[in-house]
Amino acid sequence: MDFKSACACGLLSAFSRLFLSDIAALSFSLSSLDRLFTSGAIFLPFTASFTLFLSILPPDELNSASISFCLSIFSLFITHTPCFKYYEKNTFYRMVDKMRITVISDSHRNTNAIRKILNAENGGDTVFFLGDVTADIEEVMHEYPNKTFNIVSGNCDFFSAYPASGVANAGGHNIFYTHGHTLSVKYGTERLIAAARERNCDIALYGHTHISKILYEDGVYVVNPGSCSSPREGRASYAVIDIEKNGIMPIIINV
């Protein structure tokens, strides 16, 4: 085996473990490219050291047996280094282990805002619409047949057939969702949290106030996405919730 082949073996050994998972994840999101670059930044110094070691071996000792032995030692070494352990523990974006929920509320006849959100969140298959006005989501939901919609009615949804609240399971978590007017959310979230806990839910979604909010209280993640069309504070917004094996990450996003 010549020197170029040895270098190729070193590179393959260094990157194969991460590249297999990263390339698979690329089918879900281009954001996985950052993991490819991160893996390169971590393992490039080790690969350079390995190829340098091979380059100083006497030519008559550079055979398949010695290279295989070096590869084994090299692989064992890098998987027990602090930077490798840190990378494995702290890599955040693993689409294969991640579920994204989109939360929208209080569109008040602005269907274009809903379309803009759903187009932006094309990777999220589960959508919660928290009322006001349910006719808006009904108008656009047929355009997104691959998404699952969970809908409740609000105080402006007169004669709506949708319930005032519901419970759904997503990513192994029970989610209590409601518009919030029946629980007096304009005056606090105590009743909302109590209702979620009574239903064994660790996520509670509500709207009605037109003010975005995220808090964690009594073991419940409480999320108000704000209004996607007529906010009372700040800009129009919606929420996404990333559910992973390691936890829950709610985020407010401006429309």
- For the segment 45-102, what is each residue's pLDDT rounded down to a tens digit? 556 665 666 666 666 665 666 666 666 665 555 555 555 554 444 443 344 468 999 9
Q: Which of 26-35, 83-92, 229-238 bottoms out in mean pLDDT, i.e. has the lowest?
A: 26-35
H helices present in the chain, as ranges = 3-26, 33-55, 64-78, 82-90, 111-120, 134-140, 190-198
Domain residue ranges of the chain, discontinuous segments joined by + = 3-90, 97-254
60: left (phi over 0), alpha (psi -120 to 50) or beta: alpha
Nearest of 213, 163, 210 to residue 193 by alpha carbon: 213
Residue 16 or residue 70, greater confidence = 70
Which tens digit of pLDDT belongs to each residue from 111-169? 999 999 999 998 789 999 999 999 999 999 999 999 999 999 999 999 999 999 999 99
Which tens digit of pLDDT belongs to each residue from 165-219? 999 999 999 999 999 999 999 999 999 999 999 999 999 999 999 999 999 999 9
Per the CB < 8 A criterion, the answer to whether 101 and 169 are in contact is: no
pTM of the model: 0.65
Compute the distance between CA of residue 178 and CA of residue 166 in angstroms, rounded to an integer. Answer: 7
Nearest of 210, 213, 205 to residue 178 by alpha carbon: 205
**Superfamily for 97-254?**
Metallo-dependent phosphatases (3.60.21.10)
Residue 206, number of CB atoms within 10 A of its CB: 28
Q: What 3-state class would DSSP assign to 176?
A: strand
